[in-house]
Structure 1
Amino acid sequence: MNDSSWKWQEWQGLPYLTCELLSSWRHGFFTQQCYPHPPEKLVTALEPKADVYRVKQVHGNRVLTPQEISSKTSQENLEQQFPNADGIMSDYETQALWVASADCNPVLIGDVETRKVAAIHAGWRGTSQKIVPEAIALLQAEGSSLENLRIAMGAAIAGEVYQVTETVAAEVGKSITEHEEKEKVLNALFDIEDSPLLEDSQAGRVKLDVRRVNAIQLEQLGIGKEQIAIAPYCTYQQPEYWFSFRRTKEKKVQWSGIVA
């Protein structure tokens, strides 16, 4: 697993992160210092001529293309600016795809052969519904091979501080185990090497590493650990860089984007 391939960059004196695995694409995991600039402004740090695409994130597993976003915005969602989804996959060049996060896992994906990219918002609900494998299935349908994918997960709440109910942990855990019953799922998760679960002192609670679950989903697809990078940053524990809804209860976000 690549977690040492991250570098700080600056845009107008404001810090953002890039990942060596995605060095073939203009991309960035932007910090809270870049708030409240929207993607339409942040894109100038990556590719000023790129067309910007984003969605109304609803904690599901729906992944759209820019063409579908344009179509659904005009047809299905007349009362809102962006269609409901939590992932975007490019269908042409010079498209900038963006997702917002506060504690959830922002995932950027690139294919070194087809040059297609995807941006995913993977909180615990989306992770339980396998949104990242869903995006990868769509990439495969467009000609991607698993060995050509490069996947970077940005700053998110770390497992050691993300307390959830055992019910939530089991719901997420079903995505990487063969069990359905809560106790069996939890036991199976604890048995995994580098387990995504930690014990918690409060009864009925555990600590959950959502990014680790996403990584296991990828490994179960056959994607090599060397193709995956996880940023060594926690939104909850590092307020100097990141917003955290769990920490402040404020509805502020940081944006992550990648240009096809």
Structure 2
Amino acid sequence: MHTWHWQTWNDLPYLTCSLLEPWQHGWFTQKFAPKTPFELTAELYPQAIAYRAKQVHGDKVLAPAEMPSPLHADNLPDGDGVISQDAHQAVWVCTADCTPVLIGDVQTGQVAAVHAGWRGTAKKIVPGAIERLLQHGSQLANLRVAMGPAIAGEVYQVDTDVAVQTAATIAPETPEMALDEAIAHLQALPHSPVLPDPQVGKVRLNVRQVNALQLEQLGLAPEQIAISPHCTYQDPDNFFSHRRAPLRKAQWAGIVSRGLSVVD
């Protein structure tokens, strides 16, 4: 069982996960605002260079070589995931209710950070990030994937068509069904990510569970995956939530690549 730990830096709280112990990493709370990844990297991981993209709820995953240099807030490329290519590269994503996914390869030291809301999840952005890691020398068995604080399924109300678009990635037969039939089919799945809602035309959607099932279908074992128990919507002390308060604010998650042990 993977454990999640509260850490502090200058009395500010952030989360780490035991699954990613080999890497410097963290899911940072709203109390770190308004610090940027560039500032956080300089203060927490001064030996590393920070990389982030301008998130657009898509499925593009970028590597540092595909980004402007030097990178700064005014020249960010569009993308919702970043992978490392060398040691001491800090990759970051920001989220409020979407899922911040951090990935590490225990053999190569490579890492990735992915922003996975329902739209990115419907486009299978996390498997896409893993495919990029595999192209850079990773093996599935060496990957560790941790999903940080996000809105929990029991409080995330969505339209039924949104649930079908998202969960169709784990049940590809559903788009051919009528909407009500598709929802019933998804709710009957083991460990279903689609939960009932009392309002007609609505259901509750567990986006992190959709991502976990995508990863299992990709070939990752359950012990390679960790899901944070923390809900951004239900924890106003620590996390911004667009569902709770529609503000243009978010918290950051980042991970720093290690020296490569296999791939140069």
Do the aligned residues in 1 keep the contact of 2:108 with 2:138 (CA within 8 Å)? yes
Do the aligned residues in 2 keep the contact of 1:59 with 1:125 (CA within 8 Å)? yes
How far apart are 1:174 and its partner, in Å? 1.2
Correspondent of 2:202 among 200, 205, 208: 205
2:241 maps to what in 1?
A: 244
1:12 & 1:202 partners in 2: Cα distance? 45
TM-score (norm 2): 0.92
How far apart are 1:35 and its partner, in Å? 0.8
How far apart are 1:184 and its partner, in Å? 4.2
Correspondent of 1:100 among 94, 97, 112: 94
Gaps of 5+ in 1: none
How far apart are 1:6 and its partner, in Å? 0.5
What is the letter of the counterpart of residue 158 of structure 1? A
How far apart are 1:188 and its partner, in Å? 2.8
Q: Does the residue aligned with 1:56 lie in a helix, a strand or coil?
A: coil
Do the aligned residues in 2 keep the contact of 1:73 with 1:82 (CA within 8 Å)? yes
Question: How do 1:2-81 residues align onto structure 2 when only pairs under 5 Å count?
Answer: 2=1, 4-44=2-42, 46-70=44-68, 80-81=74-75
Following TM superposition, the consecutive aligned residue runs of length 4 or more in structure 1 with deviations greater than 6 angstroms are 71-74
1:221 maps to what in 2?
A: 218
1:13 & 1:173 partners in 2: Cα distance? 40
Q: Does the residue aligned with 2:23 lie in a helix, a strand or coil?
A: coil
Percent of residue pairs bearing the same amino acid type: 53
Q: Does the residue aligned with 1:70 lie in a helix, a strand or coil?
A: coil
Gaps of 5+ in 2: 258-264
Do the aligned residues in 2 keep the contact of 1:50 with 1:259 (CA within 8 Å)? yes
Q: Deviations over 1:78-131 (max 9, x none)?
A: x95200000001011110000000000000000001111000000000000000
Residue 143 to residue 102, structure 1, CA distance change in 2 (3 Å): same
How far apart are 1:46 and its partner, in Å? 3.8
2:116 & 2:20 partners in 1: Cα distance? 18
How far apart are 1:70 and its partner, in Å? 2.1
What is the letter of the counterpart of residue 34 of structure 1? F
1:193 & 1:119 partners in 2: Cα distance? 28
What is the letter of the counterpart of residue 139 of structure 2? S
2:261 maps to what in 1?
A: none
2:121 maps to what in 1?
A: 127
Do the aligned residues in 2 keep the contact of 1:111 with 1:150 (CA within 8 Å)? yes
Do the aligned residues in 1 keep the contact of 2:91 with 2:112 (CA within 8 Å)? yes
Do the aligned residues in 1 keep the contact of 2:30 with 2:240 (CA within 8 Å)? yes
How far apart are 1:73 and its partner, in Å? 7.1
1:19 & 1:86 partners in 2: Cα distance? 22
Q: Does the residue aligned with 1:246 lie in a helix, a strand or coil?
A: coil
How many residue pairs get matched? 254
How far apart are 1:183 and its partner, in Å? 3.7
1:232 maps to what in 2?
A: 229
Q: Does the residue aligned with 2:26 lie in a helix, a strand or coil?
A: strand
C-alpha RMSD of the superposition:
1.7
Do the aligned residues in 1 keep the contact of 2:58 with 2:123 (CA within 8 Å)? yes
Correspondent of 2:157 among 144, 156, 163: 163
1:87 maps to what in 2?
A: 81
Do the aligned residues in 2 keep the contact of 1:26 with 1:46 (CA within 8 Å)? no
Deviates more, 1:62-71 or 1:49-58: 62-71
